[in-house]
Amino acid sequence: MYPKKHKMSIDPKKPDDISLDSALRPNRWDEYIGQRSIKENLQILIEAARQRKEPIEHLLFYGPAGLGKTTLAHLVAKELGAQMKITSGPAIERVGDLASILTNLSDGDILFIDEVHRLNKLVEEILYPAMEARSLDIIIGKGPAARTIQLDLPAFTLVAATTRVAMLSSPLRSRFSGGTFRLEFYSETNIKEILRRSAKLLGIEVQEEALTEIAKRSRFTPRIANHLLKRCRDVATVRGDGVISLAIAKTALELLDIDDAGLESEDRRILKILIEKFSGGPVGLGTLAAAASEEASTIEEIHEPYLLRLGFIERTPRGRIATTRAYEHLDLTPPAENKNLFEQ
């Protein structure tokens, strides 16, 4: 169910990260910074559905974590005045779980499924007729006595989000008739706008140079930018006068071990393993993950998108390769063959 609005007082001295994250979430389109093309498309879809007095068609958002997929789902629901029920792929373990959710929806409701790529395949197949024909096929009994009954479902909209769109089956992807939208990394300018808004909501005084420094190391991601802002506020409270200056921002970011490019210690460790153990690659994802004692999915979903964005690694048919930029960032000298490869 879409959460009821209630007043939330934000006391910078007594923060609660969950309530703060909710408070920082945009409530209107004009508060949502960036992703202009997606916003325009969604506004047209919503207005067209409103004029026809129909539910909006099913939507799929994909892209790296922290770029605003859940926030967009909340905004769509708010603009339509609809209730939103939230779940995730791993939470829907059995067909009965999905049936229970779908049969409790009302006309016009929005069902938001995060991490939709982790849906059980049997559950996914039940979802097809629910999305297309708004019906639910349930098999009762086993063997020769088994029979199928069909339940009509209310006119609902499925909004799904994923960080790994390639793991979605083609039949599922094709049923998002409202559109499939990729969220891109934000520009430094957009991140600074987001930080200004967040600082105002939190009642924090931030110097312009500090905003630039935080934005530069935020991985072009709003969620991380807001996290860094809150940690800088903590340092300003404990070691300063409450104002986030450039010096305070640099101190906080150094304590978090985030370098000038926004890389964390784990990002640098993965790069060093790629360079030092595998001579810069190419190396397969599974081999790299084993050498780093890390899950392959963690490297692929958390670390790799940003390293690709910076041009520190490249994907090739033979595996991952560290680029000249990666060597330079780590103050290492690239092998002659690698240098020649990237200069071609």
Active site residues: 69-70, 114, 163, 223
CB 326 within 8 A of CB 273: no
Radius of gyration of the chain (CA): 23
Query: How far apart are the C-alpha atoms of 208 and 336, rounded to whole Å?
Result: 42
Give the 3-state secondary structure of residue 144. helix
CA triple 53-56-58, angle to 5 deg: 155
Q: Which residue has the tokens 């390769």?
A: 321
- CA nearest 58: which of 183, 175, 181, 182? 175
Nearest alpha carbon to residue 192 among 235, 229, 165, 244:
229
DSSP per position, 37-61: HHHHHHHHHHHHHHHHT-PPPPEEE
CA 193 to the chain's CA centroid: 19
> Which string of DSSP letters, residue by residue, matches 218-270?
TTT-HHHHHHHHHHHHHHHHHHSSS-B-HHHHHHHHHHTT--TTS--HHHHHH
